[in-house]
Structure 1
Amino acid sequence: MTGKYEVIIIGAGISGIKTAIDLYRGGVNNILILEARNCIGGRLKSVKSENFPHVTYDLGASWFHDALANPLFDKARELGNIDYYFDDGELVYFDKDDKTVPSWKFEHITDEIICYISLSYLKDPNKPDISLKQICQEYYEKKHDLIDPDRWGKAIATIRIFGELWHGESWDNLSAKFVFDEDGHLGRNVLVKSGYSKVIQNEMNELPDKFETTNIKLNTSVKCIDYSNDIINIHTGNDSFSCDYVVLTLPRSLYSIDDPNDPSYIKWVPELPGDFKKLSHYFEAGSLGKVVFEFSECFWSETVDRFYALSKQEPKNPNDPQPWDYPTILINYQANSGVPALVALTQNPLSSTIENFDPKTKNERIWQLFQPVIAQISNAKVPPQPINILHTSWNNDIWARGAYCTSKVGCPDSETLTNLFAKGLSNKIRFAGSETVDGSANGCAHGGWFSGQREAKYILDDIAKKL
């Protein structure tokens, strides 16, 4: 198959779909979307529970972040077809020793550590970037005589949970300079109970009825992009297409692949410019993972929205994780959906390790890891076995290679990386995706939506200049 299009969009996630919507509204309807997966949505992945038919788990994005400035949330409210829940009610912190850890034991010290990190780089902009773990050790060496040991242990465990379970990466890899260097969120976070698949469908409903079958080509991975001439040529495994403009919405991690034998490798003609090559090794993603535990009955508090499991120990062997090696957050589906289920958030390397457990013993191994943790919130003497376990697989997903971008030691600031993509290669080679926007929407589904809106406007304006 061959064809000439005005715009080709690579990727049918939220950013690609939004780009198509706004182009179509602007009068550009000769559009083709190429999607490597067998479905639309990209890293938005909803899974229906087999045990609780009215419940959907999102293994990708789960929340409407920035509730005061989120067009996807606004649309859900306007249409009234998405169930949602503000899961910021009662929270419980606990650890291996205490079933409840009051916030006064850690919050002031935690705030001071974050302030110390900020002041360190404000006073000395040339201070070398070190890991979050290292700068916490630096703080402790200077201030340990002012801190109660028990409160210190709980504070440092809280720092880990905030850093690791936002970025999806271990604190000994996270950049001290940038891990907490982000704009504050614009409003609360809202759990999407209906699943992001319905959010995607809300967007698709703004396109013509036949668009999905006529303008989206699934199971089609791009192998080569030739932009050596005014007309851009795009080659897949079997087909070739040409276009005036191309918008790439791939996860940032895929642009760092330089092995021609890798199924996600894209050959560029000419090669990507120096800035991309120079910064490509910073495109690696973290992996915020999820493990879903379904039970036959609820044996924990039905009213607590989230349980924060603090960890005061560290893994001796990342390939053989033990209970309490990593902090986790347990999302209580008894509270938000009325079913006996918990969803645990995980980070690398634990997320990757779970994915690679032997399939024959995987569920047993996962339960061995989390059973002692869940036992601490249990009303039962011995927590019953789960009736079902699900988990994410973003590390092993060849079209993702992780959950979303993160800030590792030595990386440039987020603005440098997002601007690299937001400015595009030229007026014809454009980039979109949640990792191409700065600010609080970076890495979020509505950030992808904003990027699609931005790129469609850019192309429409460029076309108008030529008229």
Structure 2
Amino acid sequence: METTRIVIIGAGSAGIAAGTRLLQTGFKNVLVLEAENRFGGRVHTIPFGDNVVDLGAQWCHGEKGNAIYQLVKYSNMLQSTGTVYEDYKCVRSNKEVLSEDVTNILKSIIDNMLPSKGNERMKKFEGSLGTYLTEAFWRDLVPEVDKTIAHEYFENYKKFESSIEACDTLFEASARGYLEYWICEGDLLLNWKDKGFRSFLRFLMKSKSDEEDDLGLLNKRIQYNSRVRNIEWQRQSDANVRIHLCNGGIIDTDHVICTVSLGVLKETHHNLFTPALPPAKCRAIDGLKLGTVDKFFLELATPFEPEDWSGFWLLWREEDLLELRTSNYFWLESVFGFYRVSCQPRLLQGWIIGPHARYMETLPEAEVLAALLWLFKKFFTFQVPAPLNFLRTRWYTNPSFRGSYTFRTMYAEELRAGSWDLASPLADEKNGKPSLLFAGEATHTHYYSTVHGAVESGWREAERLTEYYRGHNSQM
């Protein structure tokens, strides 16, 4: 363990979890290569407004069975977000606000139709999540709700649910995959107060301060701006794994733990690995998908009014939607809602998904803001003032990520491929040594798309190497 060389590619949640666990286990020669100039990956906390915002992962989702919650539950780092995402208003594109009675009926239908893990009907269902939910919604719709209103609401709900799944449309998401995703019991929206999700990664690294260069256990072990061009994971000349960096650098090592996002694997795996990855792993990379979910943050001079609105959904009437689709603001169709932000009373946070999010990322920031202000004017009888500051995320156009988080597609079901294929290590043919290992949220069978899934995957690969060397030493 003291002489073994391990290189981890990616200083995100999985990479940090793997690195810290390896060092705590007794490995000494651990290096983390990070393409960006910061640690965190899709956990990205930055100063904004009255303290910080999370551009990526924002909440600790659940308590029971959640590795993150179990680590920090006695540290006073988390608090409940409350009912912000449940108490939203529904506003139509003719400025009409739906009554509480109608909204509550529609919310109740949605809550009752979402399948649980023990759902027998979905266990036998081989279609998409979109097909399942569409059938359930219209089956359960009560006569007292106008069908036009119900249609507008359901169309926006599908965008909201797509943001949770990270799919472009619910009809590409596997219903079986939804059922096999495990939801941790307890509060699903625990926020990190005024410190952001980054505080958890510092906790994991055992940093003693918030100073940028204090990386705790990983001090002097993270090498920034080190994008990898190629990994020779099975060489004819010797048993080393050789890593070629884009800056011309070469690193020889005994093991590589690759934690790059599924989006990066999709784009680069044909050239990233020598020899090429085996067919099962290629099928999983091809079949699974890393969707795009982006955020908007508007810092207002004073808290958003009306004061009793915790958030709002945007329901498009058919005639207004047809007009929107022929305008330069067509991409606003996929902006489904805005909400207040915990510990940030002056912020308004919006969400956008899918192809329209990817298009939005290509626009100048001033143009995006102008479109959002037009949207507010279209829907509200009152004026939303221009914000003091504005920012939007761009997860897809960043070559280090190419998306937000993973979901299981209908195509993956057809291929009989999944995260289990991604997670399997690749061994050297000569000595059976696990040379190339994979971690990251996309490699977790039940907690994909989450930070706790990424953390568990990093621990999994660290423990795989630990067990390998314990077994190796016992045979000597």
Same fold (TM over 0.5): yes
> Which of 235, 238, 241 matches 1:232?
241
Q: Among the aligned pairs, what percent are the same residue? A: 19
Q: C-alpha distance in 1, partners of 2:282/2:22?
A: 30
Q: Name the structure 1 match of 2:26.
A: 27
Measured after TM superposition, the shift of residue 69 of structure 1 is 3.2
Point out the more displaced range, 396-405 or 274-283. 274-283
Structure 1 vs Structure 2 CA RMSD: 3.4
Q: C-alpha distance in 2, partners of 1:66/1:415?
A: 29
Q: Name the structure 2 match of 1:361.
A: 367
Q: Name the structure 1 match of 2:190.
A: 190
- TM-score, length-normalised on structure 1? 0.83
Q: C-alpha distance in 1, partners of 2:393/2:335?
A: 17
> Which of 223, 228, 243 matches 2:253?
243
Conserved? CA contact 1:110–1:155, under 8 Å: no
Q: Does 1:438 align with 2:445?
A: yes
Question: What residue identity is the alignment partner of 1:164?
Answer: S
Q: Does 1:58 align with 2:77?
A: no
Unmatched 5+ residue regions in structure 2? 209-213, 428-433
Query: Which deviations, in whole Å up to 9, do the C-alpha atoms of 1:326-345 show, x marking residues without a partner?
Result: 35232213xx3252211112
Conserved? CA contact 2:261–2:442, under 8 Å: yes
Q: C-alpha distance in 2, partners of 1:308/1:190?
A: 22
Q: Name the structure 2 match of 1:40.
A: 39
Point out the more displaced range, 344-353 or 157-166. 157-166
Q: Name the structure 2 match of 1:328.
A: 336
Q: Name the structure 1 match of 2:211.
A: none
Q: Does 1:254 align with 2:252?
A: no
Measured after TM superposition, the shift of residue 306 of structure 1 is 4.1
Q: Does 1:270 align with 2:275?
A: yes
Change (3 A) 1:122 1:384: same
Measured after TM superposition, the shift of residue 236 of structure 1 is 1.0
Query: Which deviations, in whole Å up to 9, do the C-alpha atoms of 1:293-346 show, x marking residues without a partner?
Result: 11111242446544344456567649944597235232213xx32522111122
Query: Which deviations, in whole Å up to 9, do the C-alpha atoms of 1:172-192 show, x marking residues without a partner?
Result: 653263574333332212122
Measured after TM superposition, the shift of residue 66 of structure 1 is 1.6
Change (3 A) 1:61 1:185: same
Question: What residue identity is the alignment partner of 2:11?
Answer: A
Q: Name the structure 2 match of 1:88.
A: 83
Unmatched 5+ residue regions in structure 1? 260-264
Q: C-alpha distance in 2, partners of 1:414/1:77?
A: 40
Give the number of equivalent residue pairs.
442
Conserved? CA contact 1:175–1:411, under 8 Å: no
Pairs within 5 Å for 1:204-353: 204-205=205-206, 212-229=218-235, 230-237=239-246, 238-258=248-268, 266-302=271-307, 305-311=310-316, 313=318, 317=325, 320-322=328-330, 325-326=333-334, 328-333=336-341, 336-337=342-343, 339-353=345-359
Conserved? CA contact 1:165–1:328, under 8 Å: no
Conserved? CA contact 1:287–1:395, under 8 Å: yes
Q: Name the structure 2 match of 1:262.
A: none
Q: Name the structure 1 match of 2:426.
A: 425
Question: What residue identity is the alignment partner of 1:105?
Answer: I
Q: C-alpha distance in 2, partners of 1:210/1:323?
A: 43
Question: What residue identity is the alignment partner of 1:435?
Answer: A
> Which of 58, 74, 77 matches 1:78?
74
- TM-score, length-normalised on structure 2? 0.81
Change (3 A) 1:124 1:285: closer
Change (3 A) 1:429 1:18: same
Q: C-alpha distance in 2, partners of 1:209/1:434?
A: 22
Conserved? CA contact 1:46–1:57, under 8 Å: yes
Conserved? CA contact 1:107–1:155, under 8 Å: no
Measured after TM superposition, the shift of residue 111 of structure 1 is 5.3
Q: Does 1:68 align with 2:54?
A: no
Measured after TM superposition, the shift of residue 227 of structure 1 is 1.8
Change (3 A) 1:429 1:124: same
Change (3 A) 1:312 1:450: farther
Measured after TM superposition, the shift of residue 458 of structure 1 is 0.9
Query: Which deviations, in whole Å up to 9, do the C-alpha atoms of 1:197-254 show, x marking residues without a partner?
Result: 2222112226996754522111001111112243211111221112222111111121
